[in-house]
Amino acid sequence: MHKDAVVSWGARAVRGMAIGVLLGAASPALGQELIGELQAEVVNFEWTMQAIANDAELCDGLVSELLEKIDRSASVGERKLYKDYLKTARRCAATTNQVIRDGVALNRRCSSVLNDLRDVNDAPAGSNAARRRGAVRKAASGCVTGFGKWKAQVEDLKEVLNVAMDIMRST
């Protein structure tokens, strides 16, 4: 079993190096396409983050509101209901904050990759930048994939926010 895992990782490493070489040898047009795609993801990220920041405030406000209602509530049943709501509101806040942290880290890394991609894309053959071209393009492709995964997190967050909005309407 262990030997198979080592062979599998070795094959992946060789395949990854081959992809890097192929991406590096590809025309500058591929690099321009990646630059455009990654740049669009970064811009879309900024718009999405503004909306998520508003959602974070909404979730935090809901938590505060529910804590106040729990303190003011005279009825045991009402307090129990608000505590159940509070669990969901805290999950909303935690999920929102996690999406923000993941997005900020991804954007920081991918903005750096975008700058590197711009540097190496038009570099003359034989230069140090040209030698790094394949690795940088592979990283840029990974960033595009990373933004896709992050968007899936944002979609999951929307479901949590819908539940939080239902709670706000019912309280």
Whether domain 2-170 has CATH 3.40.50.80: the reply is: no
Residue 133, class by beta-carbon neighbours within 10 Å (0-12 exposed, 13-18 middle, 19+ buried)?
Answer: buried
In the prediction, which pLDDT does 16 show? Answer: 45
The span from the CA of 79 to the CA of 120, in Å, is 61
In the prediction, which pLDDT does 28 show? Answer: 59
Q: CB count, 10 Å around CB of 23?
A: 20
Q: Express each pLDDT in 148-157 by its tens digit.
A: 999 999 999 9
Domain-wise residue ranges, the chain: 2-170
pTM above 0.75, yes or no: no
In the prediction, which pLDDT does 18 show? Answer: 42
Confidence class for position 76, pLDDT limits 50, 70, 90: very high
Confidence class for position 6, pLDDT limits 50, 70, 90: very low
